[in-house]
Amino acid sequence: MASANELRNGNYLILSGRLYNVVSYQHVKMQQRSPVVTLKLKDLSTGAVIERKMRSDENVEMAYIVAKQVEYLYNSQDHYYFMDMETFEQFTIDKEVLGEAVKFLKENTEIKAIMHDNKAVSIELPVTVDLKVVKTDPGLRGNTVSGGSKPATLETGAVIQVPLFINEGDVLRVDTRNGGSYIQRA
């Protein structure tokens, strides 16, 4: 148990028997009132984000989670298969649980799986991944680094904005934290 005042972004907690991840946290102190904590929580079973206000001294149940090093193997329809790097056991995670992370999953990539009660509830992607451009419009002569941008489809199906000089077949380093943004050629 912990007080709502001790919560921070990235914490996992259990409310009404459901597992939530704290997406954002704000402590509000109003004059002549008790302090209030405003939380944005992601329900890890449905992916829905809810907002909840609590008194800062209200107790919440913290979830015990374990981060395991796993390797992404392949997907079959809406099921994504992973292998635990210590025990070599395979397990699946549904596409709706993974959310936007599926855009950056490349076969044989090592990632961290967040486990709760021996069940994978989420994954943590590396900050950057190297992905190959499979489709983009050709660049025009005279395009420079400081020019505009164009859409490019990556090998995982993700579409990101890239500089005009990027061509099909180039391998790009992509930032996974903000939905995918171009960093540089790999």
Average pLDDT over all residues of the chain:
83
Residue 28 has pLDDT above 60, yes or no: yes
Q: What is the pLDDT of residue 83?
A: 92
Q: What is the pLDDT of residue 20?
A: 87
Q: What is the arithmetic mean of pLDDT over 30-38?
A: 81
Residue 139 has pLDDT above 80, yes or no: no
The string of DSSP letters for 102-170 reads GGG--TT-EEEEEEETTEEEEEE--SEEEEEEEEEPPPPTT--TTS-EEEEEETTS-EEEEETT--TT-
Q: What domains sit in the chain, N to C, each tagged with a CATH number?
A: 2-62 (2.30.30.30), 66-124 (2.40.50.140), 128-185 (2.40.50.140)
Structural tokens at position 116? 């709760």
Q: What are phi and psi of 101, to 5 degrees?
A: -65, -25
Q: What is the pLDDT of residue 145?
A: 55
pLDDT tens profile 83-96: 998 898 888 888 87
